[in-house]
């Protein structure tokens, strides 16, 4: 799954091993920029190894840029394909790596989408056994006579020169050396020495102990033992299983596989930038579609398009989720009294403008009536204003009904202004946190159309979705308007990225201080609006008999059911 890293820089390097020096592969290059406190190492870009020439307990990072990728972290395990990543501690200049339990942790390189680009191992120099020679050609000393004697017996054996006083035989030594060499392991050489030590005493070795048969037997035993160990080790290593896309699972979420597409649905509020499948150690950013390789149901490796998304809380309309949805109905259901030093005023809604139907909601455009108390004739209606039924992603900040009629009206300020037009959006906090990128939305709705008296302002029902960036740019949009009655209509509306769908020029008003983005911006919030009168966010009216100023039709009703984002 790793990408080819390319040549980091051109150099020729040799790696010391035993008594001779052998050329390192063409992919191994010297890089003098990784660490501040250590310069003698080799970078092998084919094996993804950083080979240290001497042992150290700490390494201070200078720059990891030559390892490729965009960001760097330590691995919390030894997995070279899908490591668990220490996300809380990114690696950068000045960070000191500390050896733990005799090794350094692997370095994970990620690309710009936080996918694993490569896993680099820091390789320490090999520790030589006591029976091997130092690289300067001198034999290493032994602390015990028996060890020195046994090692000497094996090394000095010769089959071409027969000697009765010799304590070794070269044929057997060559056979033993050949077997040991074929195993290509310094540990097996040390094991051979150990076997000889057990069979010999600290006394002088006699002819019988140096005869050909015991040595041949020892060599054969070592070779067979070595082969047995290798077979057991090989059989114990299971081939890594191929992970099928259909076997993926994720905590708290659901996964749907269709063709070469994988969709991960998570609860609202989930951070989609750091999702983790149960079968994988690393996390992935699924706010945008990425490619990941899994096996299909036939076991063939396939590149799947993987994307995540969430549904909005309460979008089935079985019960209002007040933490997500706001509505003008929060104050339309109350009777509001405001005192004045001469008169007091009563505000009432002709009807509530939200009905919850158990599996749908209905919002309607209704009148707010202001009446003055004359203390002689009681309350006399003074004026009417129409308020659009609005149900939206956000919070309604109004607390008193009279705010919809005359936002600035307060105690002892005089009579409420019958002619003042109030912008209801001033009482709304629009948008809720969101970072997914759906392709469209689906909704089932009905609409009862009632003509308004104001011929300058058309009566329309309104449904829209806006995806908005942190700097208040419209990333994507989708829009529905209705100017005639419809019943139980299902609509699937594409979200146009890099477009406002004409909303900014429409004068609907539910989009303060926005601009159109190019569609590449990260999504920060989602705006969803259902309104019974598209232009009725401004309440307007007048005295009885002068109600032609209404912006919308009284009783116009929009019913919404089964709203869903499609990814």
DSSP 3-state assignment of 171? helix
Quick one: average pLDDT of 64-83? Answer: 89
State the pLDDT confidence band at 492, using cuts at 50, 70 and 90.
very high
The residue length of the chain stands at 567
State the pLDDT confidence band at 527, using cuts at 50, 70 and 90.
very high
State the pLDDT confidence band at 46, using cuts at 50, 70 and 90.
confident
Quick one: average pLDDT of 487-503? Answer: 96
Cα separation, 147 vs 150, in Å, equals 5
Highest mean pLDDT among 50-59, 356-365, 380-389: 356-365
For residue 131, the model assigns a pLDDT of 43
For residue 545, the model assigns a pLDDT of 52
For residue 226, pLDDT over 70 is answered with: no
* Mean of pLDDT over the chain: 78
For residue 40, the model assigns a pLDDT of 78
For residue 102, the model assigns a pLDDT of 85
Phi, psi of 312 (to 5 degrees): -80, 140
Cβ–Cβ < 8 Å for 423, 385: no
DSSP 3-state assignment of 424? helix
DSSP 3-state assignment of 358? coil
For residue 310, the model assigns a pLDDT of 97
C-alpha distances in Å from residue 222, one per residue of 78, 356, 429: 32, 84, 80
Cβ–Cβ < 8 Å for 307, 438: no
Of the candidates 363, 512, 493, 485, the one whose C-alpha atom is nearest the C-alpha of residue 424 is 512
Quick one: average pLDDT of 435-460? Answer: 93
Q: Per DSSP, what are the bridge partners of residue 116?
A: 110
Helices 145-155/186-199 angle, 10° precision = 110
pLDDT of 159-212, one tens digit each?
Answer: 333 334 333 444 443 444 444 334 434 343 333 333 333 333 334 434 434 444
For residue 261, the model assigns a pLDDT of 96
For residue 463, pLDDT over 90 is answered with: yes
Three-state SS for 46-82 is CCCEEEECCCCCEEEECCCHHHCCCEEEEECCCCCCC
Quick one: average pLDDT of 538-563? Answer: 84
For residue 196, the model assigns a pLDDT of 37
Kindly state the percentage of the chain with pLDDT values over 70: 72
For residue 387, pLDDT over 70 is answered with: yes
Q: Is the pTM of this model over 0.85?
A: no
pLDDT of 232-251, one tens digit each?
Answer: 444 444 444 678 999 999 99
Cα separation, 361 vs 228, in Å, equals 75
For residue 309, pLDDT over 80 is answered with: yes
pLDDT: which is higher, 223 or 476: 476
Cα separation, 162 vs 164, in Å, equals 7
For residue 128, the model assigns a pLDDT of 56
pLDDT of 241-291, one tens digit each?
Answer: 678 999 999 999 999 999 999 999 999 999 999 999 999 988 999 999 999
| DSSP assignment letter at 386 | E
Of the candidates 196, 177, 295, 314, the one whose C-alpha atom is nearest the C-alpha of residue 245 is 295
For residue 431, pLDDT over 60 is answered with: yes
Quick one: average pLDDT of 7-15? Answer: 31
The per-residue b/e assignment along 236-248, b for 16 or more CB within 10 angstroms, e otherwise, is eeeeeeebbbebb
For residue 448, the model assigns a pLDDT of 98
For residue 380, the model assigns a pLDDT of 84
For residue 219, pLDDT over 60 is answered with: no
Cα separation, 537 vs 390, in Å, equals 8
For residue 546, the model assigns a pLDDT of 59
Quick one: average pLDDT of 210-226? Answer: 44
Q: Per DSSP, what are the bridge partners of residue 15?
A: 22
């Amino acid at each position: 799954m790793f990408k080819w890293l390319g040549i980091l820089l051109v150099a020729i390097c040799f790696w010391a091993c035993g008594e001779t020096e052998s050329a390192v592969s063409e992919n191994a290059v010297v890089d003098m920029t990784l660490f501040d406190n250590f310069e003698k190492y080799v970078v092998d870009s084919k094996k993804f190894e950083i080979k240290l020439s001497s042992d150290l307990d700490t390494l201070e990072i200078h720059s990891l840029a030559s390892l490729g990728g965009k960001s760097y972290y330590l691995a919390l395990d030894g997995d070279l394909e899908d490591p668990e990543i220490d996300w809380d501690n990114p690696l950068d200049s000045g960070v000191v790596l500390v050896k733990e339990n005799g090794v350094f942790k692997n370095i994970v390189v990620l690309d710009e989408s936080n996918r694993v680009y490569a896993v680099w191992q820091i390789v320490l120099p090999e520790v030589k056994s006591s029976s091997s020679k130092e690289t300067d050609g001198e034999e290493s000393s032994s602390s015990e006579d028996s060890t020195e004697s046994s090692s000497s017996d094996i090394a000095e054996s010769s089959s071409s020169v027969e000697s009765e006083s010799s304590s070794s035989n070269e044929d057997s030594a060559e056979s033993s050396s050949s077997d040991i060499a074929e195993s290509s392991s310094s540990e097996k050489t040390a094991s051979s020495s150990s076997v000889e030590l057990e069979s010999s005493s600290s006394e002088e070795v006699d002819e019988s102990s140096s005869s050909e048969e015991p040595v041949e037997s020892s060599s054969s035993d070592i070779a067979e033992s070595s082969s047995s160990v290798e077979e057991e080790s090989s059989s114990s290593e299971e081939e890594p299983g191929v992970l099928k896309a259909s076997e993926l699972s994720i905590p708290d979420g659901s996964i749907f596989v269709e063709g070469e597409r994988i969709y991960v649905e998570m609860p609202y509020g989930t951070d989609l930038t750091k999702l983790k499948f149960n079968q994988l150690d690393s996390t992935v950013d699924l706010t945008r579609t990425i490619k990941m390789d899994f096996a299909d149901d036939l076991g063939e490796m396939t590149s799947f398009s993987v994307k995540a998304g969430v549904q909005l809380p309460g979008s089935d309309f079985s019960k209002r989720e007040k933490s997500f949805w706001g509505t003008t109905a929060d104050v339309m259901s109350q009777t509001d009294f405001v005192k004045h030093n001469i008169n007091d005023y009563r505000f009432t809604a002709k009807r509530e403008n939200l009905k919850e139907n158990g599996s749908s909601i209905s919002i309607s455009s209704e009148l707010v009536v202001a009446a003055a108390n004359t203390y002689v004739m009681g309350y006399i209606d003074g004026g009417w204003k129409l308020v659009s039924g609005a149900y939206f992603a956000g919070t309604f900040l109004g607390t008193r009904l009279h705010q919809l009629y005359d936002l600035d009206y307060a105690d002892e300020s005089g009579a409420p202004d019958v002619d003042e037009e109030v912008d209801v959006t001033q009482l709304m906090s629009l948008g809720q946190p969101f970072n997914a990128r759906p392709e469209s939305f689906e909704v089932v709705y009905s609409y009862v159309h009632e003509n308004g008296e104001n011929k300058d302002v058309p009566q329309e029902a309104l449904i829209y979705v806006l995806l908005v960036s942190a700097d208040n740019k419209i990333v994507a949009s989708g829009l529905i308007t209705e100017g005639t009655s419809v019943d139980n209509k299902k609509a699937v509306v594409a979200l146009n990225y890099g477009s406002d769908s004409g909303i900014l020029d429409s004068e609907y008003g539910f989009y303060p201080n926005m601009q159109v983005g190019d569609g590449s911006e990260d999504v920060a919030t989602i705006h969803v609006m259902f309104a019974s009168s598209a232009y009725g966010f401004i309440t307007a009216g007048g005295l009885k008999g002068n109600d032609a100023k209404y912006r919308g039709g009284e009783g116009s009703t929009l019913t919404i059911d089964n709203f869903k984002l499609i990814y």
